[in-house]
Amino acid sequence: MDSSALPSKRGRPARLTRERVVRVARRLAARDRVDHLTMRRLAAALGVMPNALYTYFPDKASILDAVLDDLIGDVERPSARVGWRRGLAALMRSYRAVLLSEPGLIPLTVSRPMLGPNAMRLREDMLALLLRRDLDGGTAVDAYLSLFAYTTGFVAFEAGRAPGEGDRRQRGEAREMYAALSDEDFPATRALARRLTERAGDREFERGLASLLAGFAAPGRR
């Protein structure tokens, strides 16, 4: 348990700060899911009354925005000397790793605006790398959105079902169902049944990412 959420040795909670509110809110949301985080639960974890939170945040939505930006702040920035394609790939790999480390926070990436300072910096890094490819502005924005949508969607799909016996059983059942389909109506699904039911991971992510980047690197893509 995060020691910041525990009372001090004198029996009083640690001094409340904006950073501490965000840190504990992030821990609770990651553990219990975003929709279970309430101002009352957060205040209890911090050892304060709920109204104390309003000194730093006007409402729960602003806390979630701050938690999302704190999460984005963990994405590692590539070296300034790296090429545009390697730089973008490094950013998306780090973004994926950050989301996988706290899958309970994935819903924030699609439900909250990315307008905090860390998100702004990540966006700037990505757009600057894309402009090195000499893309026009519209294509650079398209590429930025495509990379974020691909990575976020892949991670959501990847983390949607925890690995283990239950996951293996469900994949086995799906494989049997595909194999029992009519060869006349579903020849492609039957032929690819085993591959379709393999768990997505690094290999699949890297292949999809490489394909996206190759598309924006194609000659004449402006």
CB 149 within 8 A of CB 96: no
CATH number at 78-217: 1.10.357.10
Q: Per-residue pLDDT for the chain (222 aa), expressed as one digit of tens each?
A: 444 444 444 445 568 899 999 999 999 999 988 888 999 999 999 999 999 999 999 999 999 999 999 999 999 998 878 889 999 999 999 999 999 999 889 989 888 888 899 999 999 999 999 998 888 888 899 999 999 999 999 998 888 776 667 767 877 888 888 888 888 888 888 888 888 777 778 888 999 999 999 888 765 544
**Number of residues in the chain:** 222
Which residues make beta-bridge pairs with 7? Answer: 13
Select from 155, 148, 64, 75 the least CA-distant residue to 111: 64
- Residue 186's pLDDT is 87
How many of the other CB atoms lie within 10 Å of CB of 70? 17
Locate CATH 1.10.357.10 in the chain.
78-217
Locate CATH 1.10.10 in the chain.
3-57
Structural class in CATH, domain 3-57: mainly alpha
Select from 132, 156, 130, 158 the least CA-distant residue to 145: 130
- Residue 8's pLDDT is 43
Which residues make beta-bridge pairs with 13? Answer: 7
Q: What is the pTM of this model?
A: 0.81
| Spatial distance between the Cα atoms of 222 and 216, rounded to a whole number of angstroms | 8
